[in-house]
Structure 1
């Protein structure tokens, strides 16, 4: 059989199909053409809407037969060779030089942004008739390219109403050379600036037979978005910076300016109303670490530190793979170094604080998210109000919202470059990054990890500080008592009013006692819930094994596969399973209210042994060595079993969790019961307590764990304090046993509290 050589020959309608897919709307089309001007080293680009009718309260722009859109600049223009080999040939590979480095413009050193090819589809999105006039630098001539596609239907299936099989190479474009008459030296006004020099070069694109619909509102939105093409943060933080690329709009010969001063307003909010300014941030891929400044304090934090590697958002992505022994293998990122700045607001701040935001300020902040810039040029749509490219809102929806900052309260930017981040590539349609390989996913997971850390540590600490300040202020002012006192003085001469007043005061005291008791009960129930949740894991596991063993035994009996002795052995195994469950349930029963109400003298070690049994499997699974040292006579506490059970369950739970986040061979928990001092020291050789977290670890709802409730240590301390015992972190070197977290529980009653 003869081999026939075939060639790919696309139909002309591919132009329409690609145009619809690549260029989603008019804003992207204009942005693409503006990028072409930027790549041409233009100082300015002006977009003029000419001969439009205005209706409907001066908002609707009516497209007339003579209406046109003109995009002109003073860039380096196109030579005949560039027109033929680049402009006329989509997807020309001109973005990189042979070394693989990014290609830069000759005059201004800008990194090339546009790709020859997309511009063709951009003009087709706007209209059917295009005249391009271009004049290269130092040329006496200008070159005119005439796209007149008005004879074709929208799908290129007919010409002048007659159906015809049309291929792309059937579409002919007229091009001619002429003495410069359009692009000549002239005065050009763009926004508030006048340009007199270097206007005898550049490109002018005139688009008529227009498509789509336009209004002043739409034009205002397009104008606003194109102003974000370059980083708005450069304008905010370097207010004296002179832009080297001015973008201007005109409507029917009049300058069309986006009239508000949002950038100035946003700059003031970033300067004066942020809870945290995270600046000069950089992710160093070689070191696998974040370096940044938070409110002026320089920080460095490594991905190997448990405060990051212990976060679920990190574990779920970077620690998914296991080695032959079942140990997590850390995945290394491949996205490259990047820089970042984040500004964190508190949308719930009180009016009395400097962080307070009114309604209009909140609305302004919500218009700006976290932008992504490549070589200082924006990657759209990242940063748009409704765009969740980092996935924060998705995580808040499927996990616990309090573990992540809301998109509403974070404004900022991430800087990448073609040089440092070659694997982070733009989609062909300019709508974000390609998910090719794992680089983009690595990049997003790193940002999620860092922002989750900010929420769970610095921001959580800020919230606790605000809460404590408010409580201290209320206590300092004795608000309720003072109000009662003022009221009593004002009505002291009125017996009837005083009688009513006394009734109110008595009712207040009764209600106060009621709510104090309810708080105690709530804390008790929360403690029970946390402890039962922990203990129930092994109980459910053993129950499952017991049920499975019974099923197997039934099948063996039905098949008459076992003799009497073998049946007896199987029943003994099943009895062992349910004996374990029975013992565990008896221990859990000690947590409930009926047991809690009976205080008695309890040997602390006896309760500790019960908790050790609960955690035997977890200790074995994580290869943790448990050491229990007893010094002197046994420690006896006057309390309930429930208090000690909750105390040790929480300490074990925390220690095992944090030890699971470190990669060391000799993981240890050491518990020292010292009868001479009446103290228990509970220590591990995990990562220890972060110095920034330490002041907050006994506060309600503060947790270093991503999904921790922040109640365990808080409830343990509350329960101990009720009976005049205490728990604290070890402060003296002599109290510390291992290198990680060290807690000291003192079972000596505090004086004057009996």
Structure 2
């Protein structure tokens, strides 16, 4: 007798062993990883994309792939031990695709069957270097027939040699598979398809008949699999993916929990917590509509990186020795401490599980408890919210389900819920890795269901040591009764700072609101003021033309006019000193100041001339009376202002003194509370000692209260001086802090941009070479029937290439020598660079003869970049004007180059700011161009500035000037 295997056993080993969708995808990605792939994808094509009739799911890897022999001897042989027994390849070779050898992630030889979980039917395409592409078609539901033995099942395979060959071979595969249903009886003569299974037979046949691959997808699937010598990889096409896969792409909130579960399970496929450990790239592209593709895996943000540890408030970094002891370092905020913990469990050599390194970060749940400033905290908090948890990696490969939101295998949250003050840690606020390996930790094995580690004695010891570590850490440093107060003291300090900043910001916000309201109210006040002023002037002018003018007739008008002149200062808004006004507020202020200047230039000027006439008509005695009245008025206003300030100061001082007395009484009352009762209760030496300790502790606590509450205010008041404007100083420091903080964030983005530019430049060079070569081959081969369209394609590419050639010199300034460049050379370069935009926007770009003849002695990329930057800005700011003009000129008398345009004029308060790094008034502008232009010119002994002076700003828009630095 011999064992015979039912086909259903394969179904149970495959789909039956897979817990969920992420596990199924992970198993197939593991195989790609083991095959030395660089890219692993799980592509979702919806029926709304191009000519797809039904959703499709495609799993791909660019690994070694399989030959026909590999498929028959390995892939179709279940439980192969080629991975579990395999040794790490000695060196890079053809077997590793000439990459660094990898420790195998798979071990049981059944991971390939997880494709059955994803849906049916399935087409597998696999290609090994030096071999022809192999195609296998199968519907795993066939194995659900409990009458079938494995010997009764045929899996059709075809070789694919070219694109045109594929549709025919695909139909052959389908027909060959359906031949499985033509057998009515097994070898023993028993009926294979009973009546109660006819529905399964019909369902499979219908699915196979309707399985189609659109032409565009066919080309995409075969694009990198047909070259016998070079191409390699494996792809699975699932024609009827399970509903869960399609539901992931829905935009509604119904499946949000499921989406988050899948994302959290498939992120961090390899150990991204370690630097330079990202061996493979994973993605789940979703093809929803034409020109609408996104990566589902990063749709909620990117996974953690090694740099994120820098944003952790707490870091635990060290090793478990496998015997119960942890040794390492703990970083609490900015303080690093040596730390060790010994789990008091029974030390049995049979429980030894091997050394386990770990590095875990922890982010505080409240921003006030964190060391981070606002932007950095938001960044790490978002990641912790989406991906927080403890991740286990075996040989840098993620072990599921660890890291998932519901995978709190150490019961951290359960303990925290019993008493948060004692058990400080929260599982969802953690991030980091626990690093196991096959070599070091051979007894920590996966369950057959791929859902965690087997619960053996080694695992229980491992789990116990981790639990002991976090419990001891909490009690030692982080609980409300911690043995060491480092964390609590720093946390209290951060809280105090946060509260102080919060109160200060609240005060600043109120000042900002008040300033904004005043900017709205001042124009209305000024309008009334202006009407009244003009009315008095008109009345006064009428009186002065009379032949006999008496002082008594105009005394009231002169008095009223003088009062209005004094009140003019009150019409100028008081700009707060404690914070930097916004650009919007400055723009409003600028517009209002223009009205005041216009008033001074017209009405106030007329008033001065009229007053001169009036004084000519008055006698000395009358003028003296007028002078005396003005003197008394000035005196009265000054006294009133001083009295108002004195009253305000006294009121504020009385309030502070009252608050000081109240807080002082509270502190003293707290010390004396139940004093008599305590004294009377003392009846022994022991009770004296106890109460003395309590009294001393209370005294120290209350003294600390005085130092925190009362002393800071007194010290602050003692440092106040009439010679120092505290508001102005504080405002200056706050403005500087905000500027530095903003620049730092932008600097990081700019650094990334610079790297991206270098990469793009490198890639463009290769890309252009390849496309050029391809176009030459196509031209020589006369392969295009539509010659006109081909010529159009060639011309467009050449035009793009010319644009790139114009840009490429700008990338490389180092090593370039200075040379003489004429203004005429620059002018024609700009015409070529901006040709399409000049035409599209109907711009008139001119240069004067003086500019054309001017000679720059400078590095060509530097001067070209400066002009490109300024012209590019000019084109943007001229969008809404009728006559769009740009003029390049040279001012001989001052030896300066002018770049003028007819767009929007630059506000006076922005003339200097626009050269600050990261300052931009343009929506989504980076504010880098003008800063770099000024800096690069400075290195060539030239300066760049902007001006609104009439003699420079010839087109009454924006005007930039280049001049030599003397």
* TM-score of the aligned structures, taking structure 1 as reference length: 0.53
SS in 1 for 2:37: coil
Deviates more, 1:464-473 or 1:19-28: 464-473
Partner of residue 235 from structure 2, selected from 197, 204, 216? 204
Residue by residue over 1:26-59, the C-alpha shift from the partner in whole angstroms, topping out at 9 and shown as x without a partner, is: 23222221111111112323433335237xxxxx
1:125 to 2:117 alignment: yes
SS in 2 for 1:110: coil
Residue by residue over 1:603-654, the C-alpha shift from the partner in whole angstroms, topping out at 9 and shown as x without a partner, is: xxxx5xxxxxxxxxxxxxxxxxxxxxxxxxxxxxxx637549xx8xxxxxxx
* 8 Å contact kept, 2:368–2:495: no
1:26 to 2:21 alignment: yes
Higher strand proportion, which one? 1
Q: Which whole-Å CA distance do the structure 2 matches of 1:208 and 1:353 have between them?
A: 51
Cα deviation, residue 66, structure 1:
4.2
SS in 2 for 1:402: coil
Partner of residue 89 from structure 1, selected from 77, 93, 98? 77
SS in 2 for 1:232: coil
Cα deviation, residue 373, structure 1:
0.9
Q: Which whole-Å CA distance do the structure 2 matches of 1:115 and 1:331 have between them?
A: 27
- What corresponds to 1:251 in structure 2? 287
* 8 Å contact kept, 1:86–1:116: no
- What corresponds to 1:78 in structure 2? 66
Q: Which whole-Å CA distance do the structure 1 matches of 2:268 and 2:104 have between them?
A: 17
- What corresponds to 1:718 in structure 2? 697
Q: Which whole-Å CA distance do the structure 2 matches of 1:465 and 1:396 have between them?
A: 21
SS in 1 for 2:243: coil
Distance 1:6 1:394, change over 3 A: farther
* 8 Å contact kept, 2:67–2:128: yes
SS in 2 for 1:210: coil
- What corresponds to 1:276 in structure 2? 314
Distance 1:137 1:231, change over 3 A: same
- What corresponds to 1:452 in structure 2? 471
* 8 Å contact kept, 1:231–1:377: yes
1:169 to 2:193 alignment: no
- What corresponds to 1:462 in structure 2? 486
Q: Which whole-Å CA distance do the structure 1 matches of 2:59 and 2:236 have between them?
A: 5
Residue by residue over 1:265-310, the C-alpha shift from the partner in whole angstroms, topping out at 9 and shown as x without a partner, is: 8766532x4223334x2233479442346479886655xxxxx34x
Distance 1:263 1:80, change over 3 A: same
1:428 to 2:443 alignment: no
Cα deviation, residue 434, structure 1:
1.3
Distance 1:110 1:101, change over 3 A: closer
Q: Which whole-Å CA distance do the structure 1 matches of 2:105 and 2:74 have between them?
A: 15
Q: Which whole-Å CA distance do the structure 2 matches of 1:372 and 1:42 have between them?
A: 22
SS in 1 for 2:416: helix
1:334 to 2:352 alignment: yes
- What corresponds to 1:143 in structure 2? 134
Q: Which whole-Å CA distance do the structure 2 matches of 1:117 and 1:489 have between them?
A: 89
Deviates more, 1:260-269 or 1:130-139: 260-269
Q: Which whole-Å CA distance do the structure 1 matches of 2:78 and 2:107 have between them?
A: 8
SS in 2 for 1:53: coil
* 8 Å contact kept, 2:364–2:370: no
Cα deviation, residue 466, structure 1:
2.6
* 8 Å contact kept, 2:363–2:370: no
Higher helix proportion, which one? 2
Any gaps of 5 or more consecutive residues in structure 2? 167-216, 508-644, 702-966
Any gaps of 5 or more consecutive residues in structure 1? 55-60, 158-164, 303-307, 320-328, 522-592, 608-638, 648-714, 723-754
* 8 Å contact kept, 2:413–2:427: yes
Residue by residue over 1:169-221, the C-alpha shift from the partner in whole angstroms, topping out at 9 and shown as x without a partner, is: 2651323352533799x99999xx99999752222222213332414258976
Cα deviation, residue 358, structure 1:
5.7
Q: Which structure is richer in relative contact order (CA contacts within 8 A, separation 6 or more)?
A: 1
Residue by residue over 1:3-28, the C-alpha shift from the partner in whole angstroms, topping out at 9 and shown as x without a partner, is: xx57464462x555555542233232
Q: Which whole-Å CA distance do the structure 2 matches of 1:195 and 1:224 have between them?
A: 35
* 8 Å contact kept, 1:36–1:119: yes
Distance 1:600 1:471, change over 3 A: farther
Q: Which whole-Å CA distance do the structure 1 matches of 2:242 and 2:497 have between them?
A: 63
Cα deviation, residue 229, structure 1:
0.8
Q: Which whole-Å CA distance do the structure 1 matches of 2:357 and 2:14 have between them?
A: 34
* 8 Å contact kept, 1:338–1:414: yes
Residue by residue over 1:116-145, the C-alpha shift from the partner in whole angstroms, topping out at 9 and shown as x without a partner, is: 644343211112211222222322x33332
Q: Which whole-Å CA distance do the structure 1 matches of 2:56 and 2:354 have between them?
A: 44
* 8 Å contact kept, 1:143–1:178: yes
Cα deviation, residue 156, structure 1:
2.4
Residue by residue over 1:437-458, the C-alpha shift from the partner in whole angstroms, topping out at 9 and shown as x without a partner, is: x111222222222233333334
- What corresponds to 1:381 in structure 2? 401
SS in 2 for 1:174: coil
* 8 Å contact kept, 1:130–1:208: yes
Number of residue pairs aligned between Structure 1 and Structure 2: 486
Equivalent runs, 1:289-300 vs 2, <5 Å: 289-292=326-329, 294=331
- What corresponds to 1:554 in structure 2? none
* 8 Å contact kept, 2:129–2:230: no
* 8 Å contact kept, 2:265–2:404: no
Distance 1:27 1:102, change over 3 A: farther
- What corresponds to 1:42 in structure 2? 37
SS in 1 for 2:353: coil
Equivalent runs, 1:343-492 vs 2, <5 Å: 343-350=361-368, 353-354=371-372, 361-367=380-386, 368-398=388-418, 402-436=422-456, 438-459=457-478, 460=482, 461-466=485-490, 469=493
Residue by residue over 1:558-614, the C-alpha shift from the partner in whole angstroms, topping out at 9 and shown as x without a partner, is: xxxxxxxxxxxxxxxxxxxxxxxxxxxxxxxxxxx9786344673xxxx5xxxxxxx
SS in 2 for 1:205: strand
Cα deviation, residue 100, structure 1:
11
SS in 1 for 2:120: strand
Equivalent runs, 1:655-674 vs 2, <5 Å: none
SS in 2 for 1:365: helix
SS in 1 for 2:111: helix
Q: Which whole-Å CA distance do the structure 2 matches of 1:448 and 1:15 have between them?
A: 39
Cα deviation, residue 473, structure 1:
8.1
Q: Cα RMSD (Å) of the superposition?
A: 5.2
Residue by residue over 1:490-518, the C-alpha shift from the partner in whole angstroms, topping out at 9 and shown as x without a partner, is: 66878xx9999998777655544454556
* TM-score of the aligned structures, taking structure 2 as reference length: 0.42
Cα deviation, residue 435, structure 1:
0.9
* 8 Å contact kept, 1:9–1:167: no
* 8 Å contact kept, 1:595–1:640: no
SS in 1 for 2:85: coil
* 8 Å contact kept, 2:323–2:351: no
Q: Which whole-Å CA distance do the structure 2 matches of 1:474 and 1:359 have between them?
A: 16
Equivalent runs, 1:630-669 vs 2, <5 Å: 640=688, 643=691
Q: Which whole-Å CA distance do the structure 2 matches of 1:391 and 1:352 have between them?
A: 25
Cα deviation, residue 346, structure 1:
2.4
Q: Which whole-Å CA distance do the structure 2 matches of 1:492 and 1:382 have between them?
A: 63
SS in 2 for 1:350: helix
SS in 1 for 2:368: coil
Q: Which whole-Å CA distance do the structure 2 matches of 1:220 and 1:719 have between them?
A: 54
Deviates more, 1:419-428 or 1:22-31: 22-31
Q: Which whole-Å CA distance do the structure 1 matches of 2:308 and 2:47 have between them?
A: 38
